[in-house]
């Protein structure tokens, strides 16, 4: 039997995907495309398995993962003047004509309850992966209301759409929570029981999403899980996020297309993993007999400064730091050329200094551990951006 998945995009774009094996799921936006999966098992008692996913970077990796398992994936994409599906272009039956095979796209939006009900009622997913979000922390301070509308209320709309469609006893629901919930951290490392202290409108919106999932799980006996994922990167990461900004800029410097990179807080520390590893954990959460919340992380932390040094190291350059505060610069050893500057415009109004996750529960419950190391992650992103900039310097 083939699975049906539903994929939905994030705030930047929404898509849904459905797979026809055990059951299907539905998800929100993934940059321009989000993915939902369907997967139906003894939990739902249905013939088809469907799940839904909403996300940007994660959605494309999740779609690949589910398609490899035999799912039929349905994505939800927002209407826009341009059809931006670059991250999933390779998943079409015919990428040039956008002919759809086991991955299908539907127009929809996380701010429109009626379209969510219509899609879920039609696809009848068993698994829904909600990755849709306005996920840029700095942007959330400027677009706080919109962030809440998509990240917080959007999650509620999705849960209510499942109930309105009469699928609350069939669907397994995955909510993409975030390590930003911990914000001003109360303990190190952070685990499932660590108190939350959000430090941005994005984190506050995600906090609502987290608790409404818990509430619906307890109030309506829904199979609903929160995946508290720490930072996970990849070559498909959005260009405005710091890791991708670093690898793009360092690649341009290596090719003589750029002289200097501007960043904000170099000493912020994050637990960075690879998105490909993390989508497997999402799926594993929904294969358990009971719904639970899990921290997904590598268990080690690195600063933005370390990421910069690793990226330059990949192109054979060593950075020497001089000065302090806003006057600090990073110079190329040997030449003295300034390669990194501090720009205060990239500082957050409230900073999150350290995030370090404890993924031991996921390892104990379903055997998940990260496969890609920090060094391998940086290499993967650098190799990809070097190739991209060689082909298209204006990218």
Name all domains of the chain by residue range, CATH numbers in brackets.
Answer: 3-237 (3.40.50.720)
**CA 234, CA 244: separation in Å to the nearest integer?**
8
Q: Cis peptide before 189, with omega less than 30 degrees from 0?
A: yes
Q: Which residues contact 246 (CB under 8 A, 6 or more apart)?
A: 261, 263, 304, 307, 308, 311
DSSP string, 195-212: PP---SHHHHHHHHHHHH
Do residues 325 and 342 lie in contact, with contact meaning Cβ atoms separated by under 8 Å? yes
Q: Provide the phi-psi class of 248: left if phi over 0, else alpha when psi is between -120 and 50, else beta.
A: alpha
Report, as ranges of residue numbers, the positions in the chain whose pLDDT lies below 50: 1, 8-48, 81, 95, 97-98
Q: Which residues contact 53 (CB under 8 A, 6 or more apart)?
A: 5, 6, 7, 8, 16, 17, 25, 26, 27, 28, 30, 34, 35, 36, 37, 59, 62, 63, 75, 128, 129, 130, 131, 174
pLDDT of residue 293: 99
On the CB side of 376, CA atoms within 13 Å amount to 11
pLDDT of residue 71: 85
The one catalytic residue among 92, 202, 216, 278: 202
pLDDT of residue 78: 79
Residue 202 annotated as catalytic: yes
3-state DSSP helix/strand/coil % of the chain, to nearest 5 = 35, 20, 40
* Dihedral (Cα; 375, 381, 386, 388), 10-degree rounding: 170
Residue 290 annotated as catalytic: no
Residues in the chain: 395
pLDDT of residue 97: 47
Name the burial class of residue 237, with classes exposed (0-12), middle (13-18) and buried (19+) by CB atoms within 10 angstroms of its CB.
buried
Do residues 393 and 257 lie in contact, with contact meaning Cβ atoms separated by under 8 Å? yes
Do residues 205 and 140 lie in contact, with contact meaning Cβ atoms separated by under 8 Å? yes
DSSP string, 121-164: HHH--SEEEE------HHHHHHSHHHHIIIIIIHHHHHHHHHHH
Do residues 50 and 31 lie in contact, with contact meaning Cβ atoms separated by under 8 Å? no
Instruction: Using alpha carbons, list the distances in angstroms from residue 274 to 15, 116, 243, 271, 392.
Output: 22, 30, 12, 10, 25
Residue closest to 377 by CA, chosen among 236, 176, 260: 236
The one catalytic residue among 21, 64, 180, 309: 180
Instruction: Using alpha carbons, list the distances in angstroms from residue 394 to 12, 238, 363, 381, 391.
Output: 22, 16, 43, 18, 9
Q: Provide the phi-psi class of 193: left if phi over 0, else alpha when psi is between -120 and 50, else beta.
A: alpha
pLDDT of residue 89: 60
pLDDT of residue 13: 38
The one catalytic residue among 14, 50, 178, 247: 178
Do residues 29 and 65 lie in contact, with contact meaning Cβ atoms separated by under 8 Å? no
Strand-pairing partners, residue 302, are: 270
Do residues 16 and 132 lie in contact, with contact meaning Cβ atoms separated by under 8 Å? no
The three-state secondary structure class of 84 is: coil
Residue closest to 109 by CA, chosen among 37, 206, 8, 19: 8
Residue that has been written with the tokens 């994936």 in this structure: 73
Residue 71 annotated as catalytic: no
pLDDT of residue 116: 95
């Amino acid at each position: 039997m083939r699975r049906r998945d539903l994929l939905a995009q994030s705030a930047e774009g929404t898509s849904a995907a459905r797979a026809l094996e055990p059951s299907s799921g539905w998800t929100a936006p993934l940059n321009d495309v989000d993915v939902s999966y369907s997967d139906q098992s003894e939990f739902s008692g249905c013939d088809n398995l469907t799940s839904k996913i909403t996300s940007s970077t994660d959605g494309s990796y999740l779609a690949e993962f589910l398609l490899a398992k035999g799912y039929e994936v349905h994505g939800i994409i927002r209407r826009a003047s341009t059809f931006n599906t670059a991250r999933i272009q390779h998943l079409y039956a015919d990428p040039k004509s956008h002919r759809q095979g086991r991955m299908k796209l539907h127009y929809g939006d996380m701010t429109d309850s009626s379209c969510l009900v219509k899609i879920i009622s039609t696809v009848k997913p068993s698994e829904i992966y909600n990755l849709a979000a306005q996920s840029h922390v700095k942007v959330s301070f400027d677009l706080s209301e919109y962030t809440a509308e998509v990240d917080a209320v959007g999650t509620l709309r999705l849960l209510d759409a499942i109930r309105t469609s009469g699928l609350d006893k069939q669907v397994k629901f995955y909510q993409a929570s975030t390590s930003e919930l911990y914000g001003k951290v109360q303990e190190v490392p952070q685990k499932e029981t660590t108190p939350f202290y959000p430090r941005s409108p994005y984190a506050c919106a995600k906090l609502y999403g987290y608790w409404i999932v818990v509430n619906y799980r307890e109030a309506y006996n829904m199979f609903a899980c929160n995946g508290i994922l720490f930072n996970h990167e990849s070559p498909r990461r959005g260009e405005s996020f710091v890791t991708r900004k670093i690898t793009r800029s360092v690649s341009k410097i290596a090719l003589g297309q750029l002289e200097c990179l501007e960043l904000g807080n170099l000493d912020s520390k994050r637990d960075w993993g690879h998105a490909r590893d993390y989508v497997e954990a999402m799926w594993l959460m929904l294969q358990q007999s009971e719904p639970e919340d899990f921290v997904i992380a590598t268990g080690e932390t690195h600063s933005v400064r370390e990421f910069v040094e690793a990226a330059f190291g990949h192109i054979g350059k060593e950075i020497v730091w001089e000065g302090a505060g806003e006057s600090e610069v990073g110079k190329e050893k040997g030449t003295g050329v300034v390669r990194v500057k501090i720009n205060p415009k990239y500082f957050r109004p409230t900073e999150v200094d350290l995030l370090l996750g404890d993924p031991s529960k996921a390892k104990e419950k379903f055997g998940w551990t990260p496969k890609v190391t920090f060094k391998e992650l940086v290499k993967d992103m650098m190799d990809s951006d070097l190739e991209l900039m060689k082909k298209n310097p204006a990218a």
